[in-house]
Amino acid sequence: MTRRTPRQPEPSPFDVYLRKHGTCGICRERDTQTDRHGGKHCRGDWRRQHPTCTHDGRKPRFHIDTDAIRLITGGPHAN
């Protein structure tokens, strides 16, 4: 992990979440029951991860989950 200099801004909660969980963490098609191998994975096949799911021609494909983004960022209507 690199140290931040005084000029570097603090990362947003969204950026921190993406670094920790990857882009699969904000996908509607993620497996919500398990957190296999320390990350979020596709509910169709745990071996598939973004960006493979966008161009391999198989389903399910990556779709952004706006509810997850609202919860991460604390946006309007966040629980």
Q: What is the tens place of the pLDDT at every residue in 26-62?
A: 888 888 776 555 567 777 777 777 788 888 888 888 8
Determine the pLDDT at residue 4: 65
Q: Is the pTM here over 0.85, yes or no?
A: no
Phi, psi of 21 (to 5 degrees): -105, -15
Determine the pLDDT at residue 26: 87
Determine the pLDDT at residue 78: 53
The answer on pLDDT for 70 being more than 80 is yes
Quick check: 50 and 62 in contact, CB under 8 A? yes
Alpha carbons 28 and 65: distance in angstroms, whole number: 5
Alpha carbons 79 and 75: distance in angstroms, whole number: 9
